[in-house]
């Protein structure tokens, strides 16, 4: 992102975000990439939207026997606070983080997902 400092634009890193690696179904990831391209956004913004919606529901019905078999490592970033809330949510429901992420995909709201230009925003 960019910050306006003393009348000049200075490029900075968004410290509210954190990078992490998770395992996610390759077929789900392909679907997310397609949706992201169609809607001018990024996969991580879609995942964040789904996670926020899932947390607002505050319930999950996940069958561990239906876990996908095509999981691959996926490097992404997320809001630190949101990630911590999701970790606590997963722990409280005795699930893994990647299970919660995959489940949250059905809760994605395209309208609330950030656009790809969000990373180039200017903050005062």
Report the DSSP beta bridge partners of residue 73: 23
DSSP assigned state of 114: P
Tell me: pLDDT of 1 over 70. Answer: no
Tens-place pLDDT, residues 79-119: 899 999 999 999 999 999 999 999 999 998 888 776 765 56
User: What is the value of pTM for the model shown?
Assistant: 0.81
Tell me: pLDDT of 41 over 70. Answer: yes
H/E run at residue 45: helix 43-57
- What residues have CB less than 8 Å from 102, skipping those under 6 apart? 24, 25, 28, 68
For residue 121, what pLDDT is reported? Answer: 47
User: Which residue has better confidence, 124 or 98?
Assistant: 98
Rounded distance between C-alpha atoms, residue 25 and residue 69, angstroms:
7
């Amino acid at each position: 992102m960019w910050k306006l400092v003393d009348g000049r634009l200075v490029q900075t890193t968004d410290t509210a975000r954190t990078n992490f690696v998770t395992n996610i179904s390759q077929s789900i990831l392909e679907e997310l990439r397609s949706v992201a391209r169609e809607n001018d956004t990024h996969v991580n913004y879609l995942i964040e939207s789904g996670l926020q919606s899932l947390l607002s529901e505050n319930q999950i019905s996940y069958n561990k026997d239906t876990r996908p078999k095509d999981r691959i490592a996926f490097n992404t970033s997320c809001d630190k606070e949101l990630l911590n809330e999701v970790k606590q949510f997963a722990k409280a429901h005795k699930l893994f983080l990647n299970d919660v992420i995959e489940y949250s995909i059905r809760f994605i709201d395209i309208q609330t997902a950030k656009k790809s230009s969000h990373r180039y925003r200017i903050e005062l």
